[in-house]
A and B are shown apart, each in its own frame.
Chain A
Amino acid sequence: MEKLGIQNIVRKLRFATGEMTQQALADMVGATRQTIASIEKNKYSPSLDLAFRIAQAFEVEISEVFSYEKIKK
């Protein structure tokens, strides 16, 4: 059985939004830079609250940032 997990395109969105830095995004959403780095590497799944704040920072729907799919190795 394939393993499913939360995947995201935060890194892609960050670069698409004027090469925003991890620190800038962290400041916008009220998290630390390390947390953003961890989320981008899919090593940490954010809470629903933080996920919504990240989506809001990019002005997109949460489902456009996060998805539940097969974990990429």
Chain B
Amino acid sequence: MGYQEKKNILIAVTHVVISIGYFGYVAGKYASLSEGADLLTFWAKAIVVMVPVYIVIHLIVIFIFTAVHKYRTGEGFPRFVDERDKLIELKAMRVKYFVVIFGLFASMVSVLMGATITIAFVILIGGMLASGFLAPLTHFILYRLDA
């Protein structure tokens, strides 16, 4: 298994672990909300905080992974990405955007059907999380299938 494949598996696994941890924390906060609290602000804050948390943790994990990979195999970051790498990356990004848009659409439909703000945000966040997991998975599968 090459660097790219290992990295994508790690990203997918890390994503699941962070998601469970972070949304366990958010669920705990939600449960302790007082009556009449502003739910819109609460969920907006949950999303706004989520983005940098994910980015920072992913960067740290990739940095550690690259260091360990380099130590064990003598290879660091790939020297460059070629046209096939870019094509696979684009396909993975396309999957990611489809899932995010689907989550957004499902969220809006739920509001139209009378769901609460919490349900709408949970669907929206669910779409974002699913996209974050499916993108590296797509990347990994395409690498495997084509190589």
Given contacts A32-B78, A34-B2, contact A46 B83 (CB under 8 A): yes
Within B66-111, which residues are at the interface with A (CB < 8 Å)? 78, 80-85
Is B78's CB under 8 angstroms from A38's CB?
no
Residues facing B in A30-71 (CB within 8 A) are: 30-32, 34-35, 37-38, 43-44, 46-47, 50
Contacts of B54 in A (CB 8 A): none
Q: A34-B4, A50-B82 are in contact. List 17 more A-B contacts (CB 8 A).
A: A30-B80, A30-B82, A31-B82, A31-B83, A31-B84, A32-B80, A32-B82, A32-B84, A34-B2, A34-B84, A34-B147, A37-B147, A38-B84, A38-B147, A44-B84, A46-B83, A47-B83
Q: Can you list 11 pairs linking A and B with CB atoms under 8 Å apart? A: A30-B80, A30-B82, A32-B80, A32-B84, A34-B146, A34-B147, A35-B83, A35-B85, A38-B84, A38-B147, A50-B83
